[in-house]
Amino acid sequence: MKLYHCDYGGVNGETVLLLHGLLGSSRNWGTVGKRLAKHFHAIGIDLRNHGKSPHAPEMNYQVMADDIAGWMNAHDMDQAHLVGHSMGGKTAMLLACLQPNRVKTLTVADIAPKSYPPLFQDAFEGMLQTDPGRFRRKSEVEQALADYVNDPQLRRFLVTNLVPNESGTLKWQINLDAINRSLPLIGDNPLQQPMKFEGPVQFLCGSESDFVNPEDRSIILQHFPQSRIIEVPGAGHNVHIDNRTFFAEQIVGFIKEA
């Protein structure tokens, strides 16, 4: 699968691949990508069924990890530093365990190697029930989603997945049906015992998020014995957006230390 990528540029040498979370895309990394590009070559990748990447009926962590390895092969890239948020973090964790020689360092943003209940169920119901072809402005779709999604910040995030269609109205850019069918797999833990990555790993977790808890430390260390866990102050689940400066600084320092 030929994944879409956004190249933020940067100096030659160390390459950092940025993997987004569920319903996100490479656009989520804009500010962080530009900051990392001052030190490394930073690239954001759209995972399958997201952003501008191709659609496919199958969606699980094995195929997504294979997609990233295939992208690296297509770009003659033997190794890279991986940064993954949420779903992208689980994808990066699995790739690091399966192909450790491809991963120089691993940064996981606000997710643990464990199973979670399906996320965004109300949001998916709203998106499936709302026909964006009836609207010409994202704000109109956002208002229609209010019947299903109470959180205005989440509604604003959801409509970033809208693009114009040929008639001038809107359509979902994501493969909504395939992602919705795959929600149980996306919630699953992709790592099995005795999967392990011995390289340098950091988990950057939001101080206001409950996605990674103190009791998760033991399972993290089982799979990533060289890992460190750092709290991102003032950040919820979207740590790379809520505190971009701290988040980027941690990645820069971590890679330079490795």
| Together in a domain, 76 and 193 | yes
Which is the catalytic residue, given 5, 41, 237, 240? 237
Verify whether residue 86 is a known catalytic residue. Answer: yes
Q: What is the mean pLDDT of residues 167-176?
A: 96
| Together in a domain, 159 and 35 | no
Q: What is the mean pLDDT of residues 231-239?
A: 97
Mean pLDDT of the chain: 97
Q: What is the pTM of this model?
A: 0.97
DSSP codes of every residue in 181-205: HTHHHHHS----TT----S-EEEEE
Whether 257 has a pLDDT exceeding 90, the answer reads yes
| Together in a domain, 148 and 105 | no
Which is the catalytic residue, given 55, 177, 188, 227? 177
Whether 12 has a pLDDT exceeding 90, the answer reads no
pLDDT tens digits for 90-138? 999 999 999 999 999 999 999 999 999 988 899 999 999 999 999 999 9
How many structural domains compose the chain? 2
Nearest to 16 by CA among 219, 251, 194: 251
Range of the domain at 22: 5-115+188-257
Q: What is the mean pLDDT of residues 181-189?
A: 96
Verify whether residue 81 is a known catalytic residue. Answer: no
In angstroms, the CA 67 to CA 82 distance is: 14
Which is the catalytic residue, given 25, 26, 86, 182? 86
Q: What is the pLDDT of residue 81?
A: 98
Residue ending a domain, among 155, 181, 207, is: 181
Q: What is the pLDDT of residue 119?
A: 84
- Token code pair at residue 135: 């609207």
Verify whether residue 53 is a known catalytic residue. Answer: no
Residue ending a domain, among 134, 154, 181, is: 181
| CATH code at position 79 | 3.40.50.1820
| Together in a domain, 84 and 60 | yes
3-class SS of residue 233 = coil
Q: What is the pLDDT of residue 13?
A: 81
1 band by pLDDT with thresholds 50, 70 and 90:
very high
